[in-house]
Every structure is written in C-alpha cells, then in structure tokens.
A and B are shown apart, each in its own frame.
Chain A
C-alpha cells in the first residue's frame, strides 16, 4: 500500500525532476537525470513516464512553505524575502511561502504539532543543527543523499561546507541537513582596554584569568567586570571550556562524559574566575541579553557569547572589538563550539514540494547568497567558497572580525547533540548550575549528572 503510493509519488517527482533540468534557465542549470530523487524503484517509474506527460508536469506550479526562526538581531524576514524573489524569478513555476515562526523552538514545535495532528508539514524548515536525532527518531525528516547524488558536482558541493558545521548533518552515514545560519562560541575582548593595560590577548586559562582580574575595576557601588560568562542556559558557552581542557562533554550521540576529570576541572575553572580571581560575578549569570550591552558600552572587558552577536556589538561599540576562540588550559591551545540552524526537508510534505524545497536550498547555498547572508546577519558563512566572493572579500577587509569568527572553527569540538537531547541537556543544566552556585561540588554534581544522563539515554541506545 505504502509502496504503491510511494512509487506514484516517485513517478511524478521523477518527471518533474527531468523537466526542471530541461526548463530551468541558465546559470547552475542541473542536467538532472534519473537520479533526481532518492532510492530504489527508479527504473520502472522512468519507463512509465512518456515524454508528453513530462512536458505537462513541468508546467505544474509548486508552492511550498519554509518555516524559519529569527534568532539574531537582523532583518531576517526582509533578507529572505529578497532571496525568494530572486529564486522565483529563476524558477517561475515554484512559489515559496516563508513563514516566520518565532524562535528555533517554536519552529520545531509548530512542525511537530502539525505532523502529530495529522496535518501536512511545510516542505522546508530551519531548525537547530542539534535537533537531528529527535527529528530522525520522530520520522519527520528526509535524507538528502539522493539529491546530492543527483547534482552535478554534488560531492564538491557538500565538501565546500565548513567541516565543523557539517558534523551535525550526518547520521547512519546519511546526510540529513544543510548548514544555513551557523554561528560559533567566541570570546569578545575590548582591544583598547587590553592595549591600555599593556596586555597581550590571552593564550591560556592562566593568562585569561589574569587579564580578567586586572581589567576588573570598582566604580562606586558598581563593578566593571573583567569577564561576563552567561550561564542561564549553560551547556553551549561551557563546552569550549571543557574542550579547551582536552575533553568535550560528549563522545557520540549515545555517550556523554560529564564526569570526566577534565570536564570537572573546567567547572572548577569557571568557579575560580569569581572565587579566586574576583574577575567575574559569582554563580549562575543569567545575563545572555545584557552581556552584549555591557560589553559594547565598555563596562565589561570580555564576554563569551555567540558569534551571531558580532554585528550588534560592532554597531554599538566605540572601541576596537577583538574576537577569538576561548583560550584553552595549556598555553597556545584554543577552543570553540559551533551552533545555529540547518535546513531540513520534511518527509511528510508532498514529494514535489520536497523537490522544490531542495532547489531552494541549493539556490540559497550558492556562494554569493551565503556571503550576502553572512554580511547582512552576522552569521558565519557556512561555505569555504563564500569567503572568496568579491562581496565577502570587500566585507572582511573592512570587518576583519568576520574572518576571526570563521577561524575559531578550526578549534571547535562538536556541539552537544545526543539521543533524547532535551532531557540530557536539562540534566546537564540542572547539575552544572548547582556546581556554579555552590550547592554541590563540581565533582559530585558532574557525577550525578552522568548517572542521570545515562539513565535518560538507556532506552534510546542499544
């Protein structure tokens, strides 16, 4: 039953694919052949499609929706609408309906509730790169290998994405998502303050802590902190501390290593920054939105934050803004972790919409669009070739920090993405915050987190 439906859909898709290849005007026109869509039943479907029918199908207009979040301070809606207009000019039979859906969580919630309620999901969604396993397990998304295989130079296309960003796209040796709006954890520093104090940029935990201590000053009742480290939602900004000590907090989708001595030492380092060096506020700092303001106004010398905040900080700051990876524990080691959202194609959408969505993904990940998106939003351009476009060269000559955000990725470890992610992450947050707030010792807290996380993953992992 399912197979029948599938092969029918497949036939339509195939025809459509063939015609797209034939009709799409110039530039990157793909001479798409029978590999246009994924997998098996290829041969019979192809035979069944006589030429005239193909012509008709080509004219069939397709409309699909893309659900996207706005997670940074940039006019995402206006930018996307511009790209969509240009896309529709190139593919006149495809109409893209962008649906702004809140934050990342809201996009995923909207898609989940649509599917669970028996509705038809949008063909395309921008969701967190780390949502991968949840989306696969729930059977919401379709693998993309068939599409890549059908592209001319498909392998080169995939290989052009920065490896740190692509790491979250694979599972079971299949490709499930395409990097779109990606970021990384970085450390921002006030280069003017460093110069005035005669400080070099830090290269180790020790020199980082010393600099933060030196740059902490009292001003009446208020303290100008050397460092602010938002930990209201701590795993992401914390990970580079652990990575900088030689041990990420996970090793694969079924294994977390919260209780490794190196991870515990990283928690202790966070605590020492306030307890020993007096260089930042003590305990959990729920200061994600205010930290950037404090930094840009010059009252805090260093903050750790998302690279996505760069544009906003540069717009406000009246000093030279430095961007770098976290210093690691040992001298001249550094660390970071990627973040942000990818494109996912929903398998519940009609096949012709999925195919049209892929066309859009391909279009929007052309180097010139990737570069333009990065310049206008502050996200890190996700493809290497985007950095060679004229627009990007001109931009990075002007704003060298944009290159620095890309360069931290060479020090990046994997972002926390596991089976049963919501629960595992919740457990980690619970205990690491207890350690930050002194309710438990770092060693006890991380040991307890490890035990609970193992239980939470037990059903999910063989």
Chain B
C-alpha cells in the first residue's frame, strides 16, 4: 500500500524527466551560458580578445548607450506593431470569409494559406520581383489603384522596413486564418440560434458572441505571432540585408551581425539575454492576465 503510493508520487517526475532533461540541456543551459558570457569581453576575430575578460555590465552599457542599437530597438518595435495586429486581424477576416459551405471553398482557403507553406526565403525572393520598380507586380497594382509615390521599396530608407513588414503580413495572415477557422468551426450553433431569436444582427453576434468565444484562440495566436515576429529574419536577408543604412535591421538580425559578422561573443550574448527576457516577460504576462479573465 505504502509502496504503491510512493511509486505513484515519483512516477510523474520520472515521466517528466526526459522532457525536462532536454529542455534543460537545449534551452535552459544555452540561456544560462549566454547570461554568463554577456558579462565578458570576447571577440573571436582579434587575438588579444579571444580569451574572455570579465567586464561586468559593460556589454549592456555599451549597447544601451549606442544610438545605433536604440534605432534597432525602434525598428524592432515598429516591425512588431506593424505585423502582429494587422496579420491577426486579416487572419480573422479571412477565416470569416472562408468559413462557409460553398462549392470550391477549399480553393480559397488554399489561396490564403499557401504563403505559409512557402519557405520564407522563397517568399521573399518572389516579393523581390514584386517590389521591382517600374514593372514589378506590386508597383503596377499600386499604380493601377492610383499610387504615384516612390517605388524603390527595398532601397528607400523610409520604405525598406515597411516592405519587410508587408511580406511578413502576407506570409502569416493565412497561417493565423487556419487557427481562427478551426476555432470558428468548433463554436456551438445554439448560441447563434438563441441570438438570432433575440433579434441580434450579424454585427452584434460577431462582436458579442464570435469574438469573445474565440478569445483563447486569439490569445494563442497573439503569442505565436509575437514570437514569430521576433524570430523571422530570413526575408530581411533576401530583401534588404538590413539596409539601406541599417534602416531595416531588427533585433535578431543585429544579433546575427554581432555574432557572425563582427564575431563579438559578449555583445551577442547580451542581445540574446535581452531577447529572452522580453519574450519571457511577454509570454508570462499574457498567460497570467488571460487566465484571470478566463474564469
């Protein structure tokens, strides 16, 4: 009796152990290592700094007093604010659009979803041609709609960041649509019937019923959209290389530059730590606040 109770107490730990071990090894340990390295001056491309030297908060101080790094943070915020809300709203609208039983609806769903299937690099390469001044599809379409502004999207410092935002939205909305679509199809019919009986119009039932019922889905999508917007930089490599004049350099791109172009281990570790803290803070607060509302 006692023995079996004991066993059942330790069983969960045993079951969790393999996962925990992997998380510790491949997630926790690298993060701790980065945290440690971020207090050292270490650069691989210079003999005298190849061995790490302790410099305390030096790397962080350098980063936050560098106006250029502040610009990178601004770019990152712009990129996130530009991509996350819009691609979620679009995903929701697409889901509403294709959530009906019409012949051939599968084709429309596919049309919205297919950008997600493409690797980001291919998507960006396609867009590179869309963005071409003069005859590029994107510019031709805009001109047809009456646009007469600058067409050099990837080479203009005011437009480069916007152009990578556009590609990210195009790429992601269809993906978020799928989650919303799944959510929509799981909604109970009886609530809508009751609402219809009470005389609610389409707008009211959408705003008062559909949207609140999909809050869990929205929360999930917000988290993955936010995290995605931090970690997707492939299209920046293809479209702008972070330029012109660094105007489309975001945090992860900067991290890559510091680590592999400048071979600066300390600074790149510090950026990694900043990265992890921001993502953790966001995810945790999001989960806490939404759990409270949920009851």
A residues lining the B interface (CB < 8 Å): 105, 108-109, 112, 116, 133-134, 137-139, 221-223, 231-233, 281-287, 289-290, 419-423, 426, 429-431, 433-434, 436-437, 439, 459-460
Known contacts A289-B125, A422-B262, A437-B245, A232 near B240 by CB under 8 Å: yes
Distance in Å: Cβ of B110 to nearest Cβ of chain A: 28
Complex-state Cα separation, A426 to B157, whole angstroms: 16
A-B residue pairs, 9 tightest by C-beta: A422-B261, A284-B155, A286-B154, A433-B244, A222-B134, A284-B244, A134-B45, A433-B245, A138-B44
* Chain A residues with CB under 8 A of B57: none
Complex-state Cα separation, A138 to B241, whole angstroms: 25
Check: B102 CB closer than 8 A to any chain A CB.
Answer: no
Complex-state Cα separation, A290 to B127, whole angstroms: 11
Distance in Å: Cβ of B128 to nearest Cβ of chain A: 6
Check: B260 CB closer than 8 A to any chain A CB.
Answer: yes
A-B contact pairs, 11 of them (CB 8 A): A116-B44, A133-B45, A221-B143, A222-B135, A232-B154, A285-B152, A426-B262, A436-B244, A437-B156, A439-B157, A459-B48
Contact of A112 with B262 in the complex, beta carbons under 8 Å: no
Contact of B44 with A232 in the complex, beta carbons under 8 Å: no
Contact of B260 with A284 in the complex, beta carbons under 8 Å: no
Distance in Å: Cβ of B232 to nearest Cβ of chain A: 18
Residue of B nearest to A438 (CB): B157
Interface of B, helix, strand, loop or mixed by DSSP: loop
Check: B84 CB closer than 8 A to any chain A CB.
Answer: no
Distance in Å: Cβ of B149 to nearest Cβ of chain A: 14
Residue of A nearest to B151 (CB): A281
Known contacts A222-B134, A283-B152, A437-B157, A426 near B261 by CB under 8 Å: yes
Per-residue contact bits, chain B 218-253, to A (CB 8 Å; 1 contact, 0 not): 000000000000000000000111011110000000
Contact of B46 with A430 in the complex, beta carbons under 8 Å: no
Check: B98 CB closer than 8 A to any chain A CB.
Answer: no
Known contacts A105-B260, A232-B241, A420 near B45 by CB under 8 Å: yes
Contact of B245 with A434 in the complex, beta carbons under 8 Å: yes
Complex-state Cα separation, A423 to B45, whole angstroms: 11
Complex-state Cα separation, A133 to B43, whole angstroms: 13
Distance in Å: Cβ of A338 to nearest Cβ of chain B: 21
Complex-state Cα separation, A286 to B125, whole angstroms: 12
Per-residue contact bits, chain B 60-101, to A (CB 8 Å; 1 contact, 0 not): 000000000000000000000000000000000000000000
Of the listed residues B45, B135, B241, the one surrounded by the most CB atoms of chain A closer than 10 A to its CB is B45
Check: B263 CB closer than 8 A to any chain A CB.
Answer: yes
Distance in Å: Cβ of B96 to nearest Cβ of chain A: 36
Contact of A286 with B239 in the complex, beta carbons under 8 Å: yes
- The count of A-to-B residue pairs whose CB atoms sit within 8 angstroms is 112
Contact of A430 with B157 in the complex, beta carbons under 8 Å: no
- Interface size, B (range): 20 to 34
Contact of B46 with A420 in the complex, beta carbons under 8 Å: yes
8 Å CB contact of A139 from B50, B143, B239? B50
Complex-state Cα separation, A439 to B45, whole angstroms: 32
Check: B31 CB closer than 8 A to any chain A CB.
Answer: no
8 Å CB contact of A290 from B132, B140, B243? B132
Distance in Å: Cβ of A231 to nearest Cβ of chain B: 7
Check: B133 CB closer than 8 A to any chain A CB.
Answer: yes
Residue of B nearest to A434 (CB): B245
Known contacts A285-B152, A423-B262, A221 near B244 by CB under 8 Å: no
* Chain B residues with CB under 8 A of A137: 44-47, 50
Distance in Å: Cβ of B157 to nearest Cβ of chain A: 6
Q: A283-B244, A287-B155 are in contact. List 20 more A-B contacts (CB 8 A).
A: A109-B260, A112-B44, A138-B44, A139-B50, A232-B241, A233-B243, A281-B133, A281-B152, A286-B155, A286-B160, A286-B240, A287-B132, A423-B262, A426-B257, A426-B262, A430-B245, A430-B246, A433-B243, A437-B157, A459-B46
Residue of B nearest to A429 (CB): B243
Distance in Å: Cβ of A282 to nearest Cβ of chain B: 8
Residue of A nearest to B154 (CB): A286
Contact of A283 with B155 in the complex, beta carbons under 8 Å: yes
* Chain A residues with CB under 8 A of B244: 232, 283-284, 286, 433-434, 436-437
* Chain A residues with CB under 8 A of B263: 112, 134, 138, 422
